Amino acid sequence: MDSVAPQAATGALAGRRVVLGVAGGIAAYKAVEVCRRLVDAGAIVAPVLTPDATRFVGTVTFSALGSEAARTSLWDSPEPIPHTRLGQGADVIVVAPATARVIGAYAAGISDDLLLATLLATRAPVILCPAMHTEMWEHPAVQENLATLRRRGVQVVEPGVGRLAGGDLGAGRLAEPADIVAAVAAVLAGAARPGPEAGSPAGGAGSLAGWRVLVTAGGTREAIDTVRVITNRSSGKQGYALAGVAAARGAVVTLVTTVDRPVPPGVAEVVAVASAADMEREVVPRAASADVVIMAAAVADFRPKAPADHKLKKDDGVPEIVLEPTHDFLIDLGRGKPAGQVLVGFAAETDDLLSNAARKLRAKHLDLIVANDVSADGAGFEHDTNAVTILGADGSERRVPLSSKLAVAGAVLDAVALLLPPPKEHP
């Protein structure tokens, strides 16, 4: 059985030039660990600190850990235009932490320090890792600035929920260094590898350039009445990670989703659905022309047989809800799978993980199934991390230990790429 390390995707970092921007927030101390991990993964790291960042962390630390001396100013270099050199030479720029000021100035095109000038002087992919207090993170101005940057192709690594400066709890905590490095690796994995046109069997290990990929995400909602639904705990995070990494690797991605989350950069089409029947109606015709179909959504197994056409009232007593099975259209996709298509299912289990997943793999005629124990700590629904085993119809078995969902997505797509047929012309 193959084992995939928690940061399996970081091979894409070897020899790549990463500009690490550090803005002036208390979370700047975590950027030290980001820098160390990037260098350990083989990246060439050029640290760029804003003047405010130096109030929290020292340039000596980043100069010692990075691949070259840390920069803090447009004017402290013998080069007349350091931001141009940094921007043109970067394979990727990651800003961790990205403060509200930096996000706003970048969205507005303001270049009043070296970091912002570098962001405006690059055509490399940009990843922002916001960190700020909850009230700031949720402010409409910050969210609108982020929406603007996302539309321009900037990737945002969402902050977590946890203890913040001052001792209170809430959203706005900088993502963990391992997750930030995984996001950088996922972006570089797409940029580094040639597509099917290059002539290798899978277009380069892990490449999806030119392939058409359909991904489903989220938990379906089945109506009880016009207000209430039966649903599940799926957040859509794993599906969105798959869509984002596939797009970063060059795929033409269609995302069919039940949840309202920021769309990953590069996704070509987003289709909103609610129920299992809605998803079937949108997925089945699109699947016919897809090279890869990844059914990451948690599709309901049951639905109310006779949903009410009005809101049920408590005064009317407890309603008797009779359930009926939904149609498992993944079986149809497996039976009617076009030649060469790779079909991937998910098995969210609480017991007998591998045996249940293997049974579904065979019964649904899948090429791969991603099995995850949703009762395990830190894995499955609603978490930012996951631990899975990828089973193949050929008997292969690859274990991915607890990792970020971006890293899990990378491992799944690596397995997909190995099953793709020889290169072909894409419309």
Q: How many CB atoms lie within 10 A of CB 201?
A: 13
Helix (H) or strand (E) holding 177: helix 177-192
- pLDDT of 321-331, one tens digit each? 999 999 999 99
What fold is seen in the domain 195-419? Rossmann fold (3.40.50)
What are the start and end residues of each CATH 3.40.50.10300 domain in the chain? 195-419
Strand extents, DSSP E, 169-251:
169-173, 212-217, 222-223, 229-230
Q: Which two tokens stand for residue 185?
A: 């690796």
The three-point CA angle 240-334-300 to 5° equals: 55
Specify the pTM: 0.62
- pLDDT of 67-124, one tens digit each? 999 999 988 777 778 889 899 999 999 999 999 999 999 999 999 999 999 999 999 9
Distance CA 339, CA 345 (A): 17
Helix (H) or strand (E) holding 391: strand 385-392
Q: Which two tokens stand for residue 183?
A: 């996001």
| pLDDT score of 81 | 83
Read off φ and ψ for residue 196, nearest 5 degrees: -55, -30
Strands 229-230 and 368-373, bridge-based pairing: unpaired
What fold is seen in the domain 2-187? Rossmann fold (3.40.50)
pLDDT band at 204 (very low <50, low <70, confident <90, very high): very low
Mean pLDDT computed over 302-315: 93
Read off φ and ψ for residue 70, nearest 5 degrees: -65, 145
DSSP code string of 86-101: HHHH-SEEEEEEE-HH
| pLDDT score of 209 | 77
Q: Around 190, how many Cα atoms within 13 Å sit in the side-chain half-sphere?
A: 29
Out of 232, 356, 372, 386, the active site residue is 232
- Sign of the C-alpha dihedral, residues 345, 349, 353, 356? negative
Contact by Cβ (8 Å): 401, 387? yes
Mean pLDDT computed over 373-396: 86
356 is catalytic: no
Higher pLDDT, 18 or 13: 18
DSSP code string of 314-381: GGG------EEEPP-HHHHHHHTPPTT-EEEEEEEESSSHHHHHHHHHHHTT-SEEEEEETTSTT-ST
State how far the alpha carbon of 267 is from the alpha carbons of 78, 99, 247, 256, 317, in Å. Answer: 41, 26, 6, 11, 46
Which residues lie below 8 Å from residue 320, measured CB to CB, with a gap of 6+?
none
96-105, 360-369, 407-416: segment of lowest average pLDDT: 407-416
| pLDDT score of 127 | 94
Distance CA 340, CA 306 (A): 40
- pLDDT of 90-101, one tens digit each? 999 999 999 999
Identity of the amino acid at 227: V
| pLDDT score of 326 | 96
Using only C-alpha atoms, what is the Rg of the chain?
23
Strand extents, DSSP E, 190-307:
212-217, 222-223, 229-230, 252-257, 269-272, 292-295, 302-304
